[in-house]
Amino acid sequence: MPASMGEDPIGPWLSEDRAEEDVTSRSLIPEDAEAEAEICTKQPLVVAGLDTACRVLETDGVTVDPEVEDGQRVDAGELLAEAHGPAHPLLARERTALNVLAHLSGIATRTAEIVDRVDETDAECEVLATRKTTPGLREREHEAVRLGGGRPHRDNLAGSVLVKENHLAFVSVDEAVEAARSNAGDQTVIVEAETADEARAVARASADGVLLDNVDPEGLGDLVELLKRLEPSLTVEASGGITLGTVADHAPHVDRVSLGSLTHSAPAADVTMLVEPV
């Protein structure tokens, strides 16, 4: 993971699970017991979060040797990492390590599936994630999206101007674009539109981009063609309700698609850690 990812969350994660008070392991297993462990995947996936998962395990004499790298595509049954050391910390930290690995690999894998589906259409369309992320995990979740071949729409509220429905309760589209140009420096200005009329208003206002929210893919090509005639430099993005099953209907018509589900609903990857005494 990039070194810029804020404070190290591993301590709080382990405190939450009270890893130092693993009553089961302490009751059943001698304190000086040694063990080895294999972390494997039960499904094809794009690896993400392995570096962080290894750091969760590396303590009190435990060493971890990764066999693959974040961003790598692997097959079901493949060995991801091996660990060796005292049994107690291995067992106490197992679930936290697997939770991180499963969650982030799930995001990377679903992103890669969406990117692959878009590529099958031969569309020059980017796949974007949104800010619908787990509090405290955004940078890691967005990095998982990048590992899967996508990128964030924006990392945070300072990343660009995105005028949404609730902003337009206060100002018109024209007023919003003009104010953003005046007050936000050289930030990209994107305006959300829920209807064709709203989208045309965004194009006429010379925004940098329009985000078509929950627009039916039927007739989308004609609408985008019209918008590009009104403002040739306009970036057109489709969002809202797009899934693995429907992204191919949108991608050929737009410059990019954004899916909140990449981070808030990606299925966790099926990974496991098997521990054996030595």
Catalytic residues: 95, 132, 164, 192, 213
Decide: 194 and 239 in contact? Cβ < 8 Å.
no
Closest CA to 38 of 205, 238, 272, 259: 272
Give the relative orientation of helices 87-120 and 138-147 as an angle to the nearest 10 degrees: 50
244: three-class secondary structure by DSSP? coil
Decide: 101 and 53 in contact? Cβ < 8 Å.
yes
From CA 23, how far away is CA 112, in angstroms rounded? 40
Extract the tokens encoding 155.
């990392």
Strand intervals (E) in the chain: 34-41, 45-46, 63-66, 73-74, 79-86, 126-129, 151-152, 161-163, 189-193, 209-213, 235-239, 256-258, 271-277
